[in-house]
Amino acid sequence: MLDLAIIGGGPAGLTAGLYATRGGLNNVVMFDMGLLGGQITGSSEIENYPGQSSLMTGMELMESWPEQCQKFGLKHEVKQVSKVAKENEIFTLSMSDGSTYEAKSVLLATGSVPRRAGFKGEDKFFGRGISTCATCDGFFYKGKEVALIGGGDSALEEAIYLSKMCSKVYLVHRRDTYRAAPVTIKHMKACKNIEEVSNVDVEEVIGDNMGVNGLILKSKIDKKIKQLDVPGVFVFVGRDVLNEPLKQDDGSFLCDTNEQGEIIVNLRMQTNIKGLYAAGDVRIDAAKQVVCAAGDGSTAAVNIIEYLG
Ligand code: NAP
């Protein structure tokens, strides 16, 4: 019987593992299928992690985290958790390989993935001119023109962020009204170098061996084709949280979630199910920053130790 099962090996899961094992829990296993470190390992430049003295890649930032956790006894299993269920105060984790684990407590730290828009060239140029992180990659386009796709809060907020470093931001949206909050729309409209390109479908992102050099759009009104010659395209068409392990056989979730499927937690990272916690991007109101995910992980672990007594 595990004291704690951690699902996800990003900043939230790793930090929870560190605090839980160093805090005295003996049998803690972190389940993660991929490279430890989470989605930040895909970022090319990090310069806002506190205490960091030089610019580094996400991979470099996360390199020593697993070793530090393992030093205190955190075990890592390369297994995919397909389902978490709870009966008689005990959690059962079913793995995709057919094996099962029992645990007294569970932390879901699976994060989220940026949604793909589905246009031609998106997969081909992803990471080579197409980005889903303005904070990570905006700096590469300092003084240049970029296009940004989407019409929600994330798109408009990131367009405003990019407008401060890029010469021009084309805000490409498939409608002419935005989902974003009115105040965010007002701020976006006040940015002189944001050009709204509305009522268009993205046909294709084009480029060569060096990366992206243009975006082809089709007007929904007159069907005319328009090309934007930009070296960078940012896509903000929503995010999908990775909440699958909490899905029960009847389609409901083991704990309360909001409409987006984000896990509802309190300030202790505790869900409405005793012993079940969530941390990082998978939870409601996540700031989607490494430092915040790490903070969530430590908060969860401290409270799990208290819960287990
Ligand atoms: P979102 O609100 O779901 O907006 C996604 C946008 O992308 C929509 O404008 C949508 O167009 C567009 N879109 C979706 N699929 C597309 C496709 N295939 N091609 C082109 N465009 C596509 O996502 P989000 O902005 O990531 O926000 C997610 C949630 O977090 C929202 O509830 C949001 O309010 C919240 N959020 C809040 C804040 C804040 O409060 N500061 C910041 C960020 C996010 P349509 O409008 O036509 O559907």
pLDDT at 47: 75
Centroid of ligand 1 to alpha carbon of 17 (angstroms): 32
Q: Is the beta carbon of 116 within 6 A of some atom in ligand 1?
A: no
Mean pLDDT of the chain: 94
Ordered by start, the domain boundaries in the chain are: 4-114+239-308, 130-235
Q: Is the beta carbon of 157 within 6 A of some atom in ligand 1?
A: yes
Cα R_g (the chain), whole angstroms: 21
If pLDDT is split at 50, 70 and 90, which confidence band does 44 have?
A: low
Catalytic residue among 3, 32, 69, 136: 136
If pLDDT is split at 50, 70 and 90, which confidence band does 42 have?
A: low
Distance between CA atoms of residues 92 and 114, nearest Å: 29
Closest CA to 236 of 295, 293, 188, 292: 188
Region 166-175: what's the mean pLDDT? 98
First to last CA, the chain: 16
For residues 264 and 273, the answer to whether their CB atoms sit within 8 Å is no
Q: Is the pLDDT of residue 199 over 80?
A: yes
Q: What is the pLDDT of residues 202-258, one digit of tens each?
A: 999 999 999 999 999 999 999 999 999 999 999 999 889 999 999 999 999 999 999
Closest CA to 91 of 228, 275, 267: 275
Distance between CA atoms of residues 279 and 39, nearest Å: 14
Q: What is the pLDDT of residues 255-278, one digit of tens each?
A: 999 999 999 999 999 999 999 999
Closest CA to 153 of 201, 129, 185, 186: 185
pLDDT at 262: 96
If pLDDT is split at 50, 70 and 90, which confidence band does 56 have?
A: confident
Q: Which CATH number fits domain 130-235: 3.30.930.10, 3.50.50.60, 3.40.50.1000, 3.40.50.800?
A: 3.50.50.60
If pLDDT is split at 50, 70 and 90, which confidence band does 153 have?
A: confident
Q: Is the beta carbon of 153 within 6 A of some atom in ligand 1?
A: yes
If pLDDT is split at 50, 70 and 90, which confidence band does 161 have?
A: confident
pLDDT at 225: 98
Atom of ligand 1 nearest to the CA of 115: 15
Q: Looking at the chain, which runs of residues are DSSP E strands? A: 2-7, 28-31, 75-77, 81-87, 90-95, 100-108, 112-114, 130-131, 145-149, 168-172, 194-197, 200-208, 211-219, 225-228, 232-235, 239-241, 276-278
Q: Is the beta carbon of 238 within 6 A of some atom in ligand 1?
A: yes
If pLDDT is split at 50, 70 and 90, which confidence band does 43 have?
A: low
pLDDT at 45: 57
Centroid of ligand 1 to alpha carbon of 198 (angstroms): 15
Catalytic residue among 3, 32, 137, 296: 137
133 is catalytic: yes
How is residue 193 written in tokens?
């170098």
For residues 228 and 200, the answer to whether their CB atoms sit within 8 Å is no
Region 88-99: what's the mean pLDDT? 97
Centroid of ligand 1 to alpha carbon of 236 (angstroms): 7
Residue closest by Cα to atom 21 of ligand 1? 150
Residue closest by Cα to atom 18 of ligand 1? 117
pLDDT at 265: 98
* 64-69, Cβ contacts within 8 angstroms, sequence gap of 24 or more: 65/11, 65/14, 65/15, 65/18, 65/36, 65/37, 66/9, 66/14, 66/36, 66/37, 68/18, 69/14, 69/17, 69/18, 69/21, 69/30
Domain 4-114+239-308 has CATH 3.50.50.60: yes
Q: What is the pLDDT of residues 28-38, one digit of tens each?
A: 999 999 889 98
Q: Is the beta carbon of 23 within 6 A of some atom in ligand 1?
A: no
69 is catalytic: no
Mutate to test the pocket of ligand 1, among 174, 234, 240, 288 (most ligand atoms within 8 A of CB): 174
Kindly list the distances between the CA atom of residue 10 and the CA atoms of 15, 87, 281, 294, in Å, as whole numbers in the listed order: 8, 28, 10, 9
Q: Is the beta carbon of 220 within 6 A of some atom in ligand 1?
A: no
Q: What is the pLDDT of residues 95-150, one digit of tens each?
A: 999 999 999 999 999 998 889 999 999 999 999 999 998 877 898 999 999 999 99
Distance between CA atoms of residues 214 and 217, nearest Å: 10
137 is catalytic: yes
Distance between CA atoms of residues 114 and 103, nearest Å: 30
Q: Is the pLDDT of residue 46 over 80?
A: no
For residues 254 and 108, the answer to whether their CB atoms sit within 8 Å is no
